[in-house]
Amino acid sequence: MHLANSASLLLPVSNLSNLLAFHAADLSFARFAALMALPWLGVLAVEWCALRWRFASDLGGHGRTPEGPPARVPRLEAGVLAATLAGLGLSSAAGLDPAVVAAAGAAALAGVALARREAGPRDVVRAAGPGFLAFVAALGVVVHAAGEHGLQDAVAALLPAGDGLPALLAIAVLAAVLANLVNNLPATLVLVPVVAPAGEGPLLAALIGVNVGPNLTYVGSLATLLWRRTLHDRDAEPELGEFVRLGALTVPPALLVATTLLWVALGVMG
């Protein structure tokens, strides 16, 4: 659940927040990934160290590998996924909307499943999550209305000027707080119009906040809500107190490390 949020820093297509910001930024796919590579690695290191320490007793000893036939490598599906990722990388250079490439990849995978009779039309529609898409759309409408009636101005008044390390840290923290108050997707919709004119540094710092910060609460991100629903269906949902304690353990150092490494990357790459 943590990595569904924090590990999504690397690519413009890693989550919806990145896609929204990428559309507003004057960044290529490759530059976005290059600037976010160090923050991404830093966050992964923080998560690994913190969770490895927290669950040391559970991870002691040697695990057992279940016996059985080797898993089939889904070569065709892996090929579609690789082609989709390559297409996403080339989309900005070709002036193509990444959503078109992603939709083509999804349609190809659905076509494979239908042709093999591994899924029916109803399964494909159900997998698309129309109810969840409606929820996301409604959330966007509500937040857009709130932004037009003062929320965006209030956030803009709190944002510091400049792109030095203190300013970037303040932006990341503010974005993290906002994500936990209204969810990370609405927070991105509010923040992007405000921080995008300030340059790529503030915009990417805000993305660090809305991607890493939501690990503090269940309502912080759409990814966490989806994971929680999945785990609840399998009677494996973690306790709220434990989730919050782990968030308090990982989020502050991850924000600090990732934002500092972003500042370093901006200085090196210019």
Give yes or no for a contact between 196 and 160, defined as CB atoms under 8 angstroms apart.
Answer: no
Output the tens digit of pLDDT for each of the chain's 270 residues.
Answer: 899 999 999 988 888 889 888 878 878 888 999 999 999 999 999 999 999 999 988 887 666 666 667 777 788 889 998 998 888 878 777 878 777 888 899 999 999 889 988 889 998 888 887 887 787 788 778 877 887 778 888 888 888 888 899 999 999 999 999 999 988 988 998 999 899 999 999 999 999 999 999 999 988 888 888 888 888 888 888 888 888 999 999 999 999 999 999 999 999 998
223: CB partners within 8 A, 6+ apart: 1, 4, 5, 8, 15, 214
Domain boundaries, the chain: 2-53+138-269
Furthest-apart CA atoms within the chain: distance in Å: 60
